[in-house]
């Protein structure tokens, strides 16, 4: 993965010193709360329901074992011994003291980490496919471009006070795992005869007005990415609405202007930037790409080694984990391993300091010292030799990190919700836990097949409820928490927004509601049909009838 040189380190160190000064001036009363707010937000610091929340950047989800250990240490030293993986692949800690945040940032900078632009009305952490560089179906590794764009977007002088936050995702795979159509800008990188090109999608996003992104520019030469993105974001900065924060995202602007008129304005700006110093140089692509070259793989046969085969046939638990949590690797003899942070009784995405330390050590032992965070709030060990899988699984089990639930009903995406977040209208974690508890029979869960259940505690949709096969949205009605259910949403190339089932439910009804929805699926499915395909075939009405039949 990318390593800082003295330039990168200087930039982060300057920011640490600057934020320390800003925080001290705020604490001395020299900087007003209104002035301090956007400055601290651009450094990942929220003032939350109980305490500040600090969001640490994990650029495009890549994190080293040393960095993970540093995070574990920070949760012990400054927080309550656990961290939370966010749906933007970042790491959040929920209980730091404001006065000590500058020290946390200083500790982070020692392991080439920071919290720059993890919140605020600026360009946020750029995300990508969590399996970049190791999965089949990839035209090229998107991570060098992620890093080049990370550097460009870091402390950009023109785009620090945008109308609203700005999220960019990059994919370069036939399967889009980065949800590029649900981002302010989605970039699809492709190989063409003339080199790498990019399709640019604009105006996708979830939140209060979910919209699927539109194609703005096809086949943009990749060396022009910076210039073109500057043109897009300048048009947004100048014309995006600033009078209503719920209408301030680029999706509203692109929709109001129409994609053609928006594109025409972008082209005017783009003309100023073409053929300029903004063009990404070949040598820079080479320099950065060198950090993402394949690790020192051993030469193995693609077939499963015989000792692994016998383990799989002897040990049902291990076999389940192998089937659900590991994936075919591009390199023969290796597997991609998903570590599900979805154990019963734990908030989805939460991980303790001992688990963080354990994972760091396992990454060193089994996966070249690197890990990835995912927007499904899990962690990936991307390069595990097949003949070490059993050993890894035993170690994961010891740390309660071997839940064999990837892609199942238990693998929910869930925002922190009303337990932590001051924006939330309702709690979301207890709903996730109640559903997990209700469906604790894993054989039933496996029989259900792949189901994506996403929960958000408010309209801001951090839990991506719009694109869950089953989406749950917490709403507030006269001070009481209710939950609206939608069906049929999905991510990826066929991204679509779920349809609302009907009137909302109380928290206590939610496990029953989900049970009824699943009963309809089980009774109506044909052969191996998945939940989402059954939904596509029979529509929302049978679900509606079943769920609301008894509640009247």
Partner 1 sequence: MQHLTSTETHTDPYQFSVFTPSTTEPHAAAPGLRDWIDADIKPSRVTIAPGEDFAVLFDQLHKLQAIEIQFPVFTDGRGFSTARELRERGYTGTLQATGAFITDQIEYLSRCGFNAFEFQSASHAKVAQVRLAQAREVYQGDARQPLPLFRRRISQTRETL
What number of CA atoms fall less than 13 Å from residue 349's CA on the CB side?
A: 29
Which CB atom, from 40 or from 88, has the smaller least distance to partner 1? Answer: 40
Please state, in angstroms and as integers, the Cα–Cα distance from residue 463 to each residue in 85, 123, 194, following that order: 12, 20, 39
Work out whether 249 is an interface residue with partner 1 (CB under 8 A).
Answer: no
Is position 162 an interface residue for partner 1 (rule: CB under 8 A)? Answer: yes
20 binds partner 1 (CB under 8 A): no
Q: Site residues for partner 1, window 337-396 (CB under 8 A)?
A: none
- Under the binding rule (CB under 8 A), the answer on residue 22 touching partner 1 is yes
Looking at beta carbons only, is 123 or 216 nearer to partner 1?
A: 123
**Considering the complex, what minimum distance in angstroms separates the CB of residue 116 from partner 1?**
11
For residue 99, what is the enclosing H or E element?
A: none
Single out the residue of 23, 109, 112, 151 in contact with partner 1 (rule: CB under 8 A): 151
CB 516 within 8 A of CB 505: no
Give the CA radius of gyration of the chain.
Answer: 23
Q: How far is the CB of 38 from partner 1 (least distance, A)?
A: 6
Least distance in angstroms from the C-beta of 226 to partner 1: 8
329 binds partner 1 (CB under 8 A): no
Considering only residues 109, 119, 237, 425, which one is a binding residue for partner 1 as defined by CB under 8 A? Answer: 237
By CB under 8 A, residue 7 contacts partner 1: yes
State whether residue 379 is helix, strand or coil.
Answer: strand
Phi/psi for 477 (5° steps) reads -125, 110
Q: What angle do CA 97, 66, 397 make, to 5 degrees?
A: 95
Nearest distance, CB of residue 23 and partner 1, angstroms = 12
What lies within 8 Å, CB to CB, of 111 at 6+ separation is: 64, 66, 67, 70
Residue 259 engages partner 1 in binding (rule: CB under 8 A): no
Cα separation, 206 vs 211, in Å, equals 6
Cα distance between residue 48 and residue 421, in whole Å: 6
For partner 1, which residue of 2, 46, 60, 159 counts as binding (CB under 8 A)? 159
Judged by beta carbon, residue 101 or residue 135, the one nearer partner 1 is 101
Residue from 116, 132, 148, 196 in contact with partner 1 (CB under 8 A): 148
- C-alpha pair distances (Å), 82 with each of 66, 79, 96, 358, 402: 17, 7, 11, 13, 18
**Tokens representing 28?**
């001395």
Q: What is the SS3 assignment for 162-176?
A: CCCCECEEEECECCC
Residues 84-123 close enough to bind partner 1 by CB under 8 A: 121
Q: Which is nearer to partner 1, 280 or 371 (CB)?
A: 280
Q: Does 57 bind partner 1 (CB under 8 A)?
A: no
Q: Nearer to partner 1 by C-beta: 35 or 519?
A: 35
| Cβ neighbours, 10 Å, residue 192 | 12
User: For residues 156 and 365, which CB has a smaller minimum distance to partner 1 in the complex?
Assistant: 156
Helical spans, DSSP H, in 170-315: 225-239, 250-257, 259-273, 282-289, 306-314
**Nearer CB in complex with partner 1: 264/394:** 264
- d(C-alpha 284, C-alpha 144), whole Å: 9
The residue from 217, 265, 273, 353 that contacts partner 1 (CB under 8 A) is: 273
Of 280 and 426, CB closest to partner 1: 280
Return the number of the residue (83 or 280) whose C-beta is nearest partner 1: 280
The answer to the question of residue 39 lying near partner 1 (CB under 8 A) is: yes
- Contacts made by residues 501-504, CB under 8 angstroms, sequence distance 24+: 501/540, 501/543, 501/544, 501/547, 502/544, 502/547, 502/548, 503/548, 504/475, 504/477
Given 27, 33, 264, 272, the residue binding partner 1 (CB under 8 A): 272
* Shortest separation between residue 34's beta carbon and partner 1, angstroms: 9
Which CB sits closer to partner 1, 126 or 470? 126
Strand partners, 537: none
Read off the DSSP letter of residue 205.
B
CB of 148 to partner 1, least distance (A): 7
Contact segment (CB under 8 A) with partner 1 among 211-219, 277-285, 458-466, 484-492 equals 277-285
Token digits for 377? Answer: 């709030």
Q: Which two three-digit tokens encode residue 457?
A: 């505690």
Euclidean distance between CA atoms 339 and 359, whole angstroms = 9
Torsion of CA 427, 433, 439, 445, to 10 degrees: 100
281 binds partner 1 (CB under 8 A): yes
Structure tokens at 32: 């007003």
As measured in angstroms, the least distance from the Cβ of 11 to partner 1 is: 5
User: Which member of 154, 374, 456, 484 binds partner 1 (CB under 8 A)?
Assistant: 154
**Residue 151 CB, nearest distance to partner 1 (Å)?**
5
Nearer to partner 1, 3 or 193 (CB): 3
> Which DSSP symbol is given to 491?
-
Tokens of 51: 């305490």
29 makes contact with partner 1 (CB under 8 A):
no
3-state secondary structure of 121: coil
Residue numbers at the binding site for partner 1 (CB under 8 A)? 5-7, 10-11, 14, 22, 31, 35, 38-39, 121, 148, 151-152, 154-162, 226, 234, 237-238, 242, 269, 272-273, 277-278, 280-281, 284, 287
């Amino acid at each position: 993965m990318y390593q800082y040189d003295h330039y990168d380190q200087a930039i982060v160190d300057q920011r640490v010193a600057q934020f320390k000064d800003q925080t001290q001036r705020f604490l001395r009363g020299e900087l007003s709360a209104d002035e301090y707010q956007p400055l601290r937000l651009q450094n990942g610091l929220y003032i939350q329901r109980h305490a500040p929340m600090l969001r640490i950047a994990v650029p495009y989800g890549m994190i080293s074992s040393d960095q993970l250990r540093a995070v574990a240490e920070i949760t012990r030293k400054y927080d309550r011994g656990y961290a939370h993986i966010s749906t933007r692949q970042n790491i959040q800690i929920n209980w730091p003291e404001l006065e000590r945040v500058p020290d946390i940032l200083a500790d982070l900078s020692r392991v080439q980490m920071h919290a720059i632009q993890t919140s605020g009305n600026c360009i946020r952490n750029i995300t990508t496919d969590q399996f970049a560089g190791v999965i089949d179906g990839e035209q090229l590794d998107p991570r060098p471009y992620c890093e080049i764009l990370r550097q460009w977007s870091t402390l950009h002088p023109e785009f620090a006070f945008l109308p609203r936050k700005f999220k960019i995702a990059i994919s370069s795979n036939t399967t889009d795992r980065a949800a590029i159509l649900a981002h302010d800008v989605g970039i699809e990188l492709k190989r063409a005869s003339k080199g790498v090109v990019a399709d640019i999608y604009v105006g996708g996003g979830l939140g209060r007005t979910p919209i699927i992104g539109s194609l703005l520019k096809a086949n943009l030469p990749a060396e022009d990415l910076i210039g073109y993105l500057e043109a897009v974001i300048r048009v947004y900065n100048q014309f995006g609405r600033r009078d209503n924060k719920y209408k301030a995202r680029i999706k509203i602007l692109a929709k109001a202007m129409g994609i053609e008129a928006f594109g025409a304005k972008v082209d005017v700006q783009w003309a100023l930037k073409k053929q300029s110093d903004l063009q990404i140089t070949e040598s820079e692509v080479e320099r950065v790409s060198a950090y993402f070259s394949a690790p020192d793989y051993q030469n193995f046969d693609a077939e499963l080694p015989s000792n692994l085969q016998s383990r799989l046939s002897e040990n049902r638990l291990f076999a389940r984990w192998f089937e659900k949590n590991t994936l075919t690797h591009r390199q023969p003899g290796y597997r991609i391993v998903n570590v599900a942070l979805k154990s019963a009784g734990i908030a989805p995405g939460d991980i303790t300091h001992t688990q963080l330390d354990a994972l760091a050590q396992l990454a060193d032992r089994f996966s070249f010292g690197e890990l990835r965070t995912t927007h499904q709030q899990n962690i990936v060990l991307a390069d595990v030799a097949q003949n070490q899988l059993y050993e890894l699984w035993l170690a994961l089990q010891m740390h309660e990190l071997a839940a064999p639930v990837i892609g199942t009903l238990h693998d929910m995406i869930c925002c922190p919700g009303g337990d932590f977040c001051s924006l939330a209208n309702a709690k979301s974690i207890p709903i996730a836990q109640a559903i997990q508890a209700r469906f604790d029979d894993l054989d039933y869960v496996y029989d259900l097949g792949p189901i994506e259940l996403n929960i958000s505690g408010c309209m801001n949709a951090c839990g991506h409820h719009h694109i869950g096969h089953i989406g749950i949205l917490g709403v507030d009605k006269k001070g009481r928490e209710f939950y609206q259910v939608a069906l049929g949403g999905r991510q990826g190339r066929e991204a679509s927004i779920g349809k609302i089932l009907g009137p909302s439910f109380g928290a206590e009804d939610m496990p029953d509601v989900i049970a009824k929805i699943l009963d309809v699926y089980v009774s109506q499915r044909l052969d191996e049909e998945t939940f989402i395909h059954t939904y596509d075939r029979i529509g929302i009405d049978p679900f509606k009838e079943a769920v609301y039949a008894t509640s009247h």
